[in-house]
């Protein structure tokens, strides 16, 4: 049996704050796993941090494994319609359709749960655990609760990715194959780029200030103005000689 040094993902998040890059890596690994499951007609149905095992790779990066398939079900010759999952991670269609004998849900229920997992990993908060905020968001009363992600400096692509995973309508939600090629994974995206631009602007301002200081200290004293012959009071005109001003004629 393999020894799991880091334990589960929830324990890791409780011990330390994970960066956006670490959250992105975890998300990408989970998407790769979820992309394989539909081809095997398998839905996990209880994706949450305690069911995600964390191990450290030789490079020091986090590597995760999806565990606890006790609630998983094969969709071969049957339909997914049992109301099953964990509060705070269960998809909207699972709750809405759980009491129906005819309605079903799909593998996309796992993608909603993945969005909840990433929301927890990047904010250390389970934002939609209580019924009221969950109901208000899933019924369109309020928009996606992105404030916590903004406050944690998550880039726009990361917020977009989680929002598209947690779209209440499953037909509009990302599939695993679509999530796998999302721009957050393949195109990068980080607020550090914005910080670099701001740093460049600051450097430019510092350079301009330096040039002004050099002008005042070294060049201004060399400028000579002769006002003795100025009778009109007009500002003296500059001659061809650099730094020399002559009175108007």
68 a catalytic residue: no
Q: Provide φ and ψ at 182, rounded to 5°.
A: -65, 150
Catalytic residue among 46, 99, 150, 196: 46
**Spatial separation of the C-alpha atoms in residues 20 and 158, rounded to whole Å:** 8
Active site residues: 46
């Amino acid at each position: 049996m393999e020894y799991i040094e880091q334990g589960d993902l929830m324990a890791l998040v409780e011990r330390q704050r994970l960066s956006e890059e670490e959250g992105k890596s975890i998300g990408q690994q989970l998407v790769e796993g979820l992309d394989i499951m539909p081809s095997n007609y398998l839905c996990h149905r209880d994706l949450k941090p305690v069911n995600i095992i964390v191990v450290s790779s030789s490079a020091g990066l986090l590597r995760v494994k999806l565990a606890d398939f006790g609630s998983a079900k094969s969709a071969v010759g049957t339909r997914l319609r049992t109301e099953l999952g964990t509060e705070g991670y269960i998809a909207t269609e699972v709750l809405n359709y759980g009491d129906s004998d005819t309605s079903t849900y799909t593998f996309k229920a796992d993608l909603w749960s993945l969005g909840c997992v990433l929301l927890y990993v990047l904010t250390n908060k389970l934002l939609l655990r209580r019924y009221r905020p969950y109901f208000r968001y899933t019924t369109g009363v309020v928009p996606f609760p992105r404030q916590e992600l903004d406050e944690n400096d998550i880039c726009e692509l990361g917020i977009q990715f989680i929002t598209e995973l947690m779209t209440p309508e499953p037909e509009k939600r990302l599939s695993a194959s679509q999530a796998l090629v999302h721009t957050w994974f393949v195109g990068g995206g980080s607020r550090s780029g914005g910080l670099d631009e701001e740093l460049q602007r600051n450097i430019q301002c510092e350079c301009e200030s330096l040039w002004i200081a050099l002008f005042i200290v070294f060049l201004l004293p060399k400028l000579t103005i002769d006002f003795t012959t100025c009778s009109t009071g007009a500002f003296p005109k500059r001659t061809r000689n650099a730094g020399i001003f002559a009175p108007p004629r």
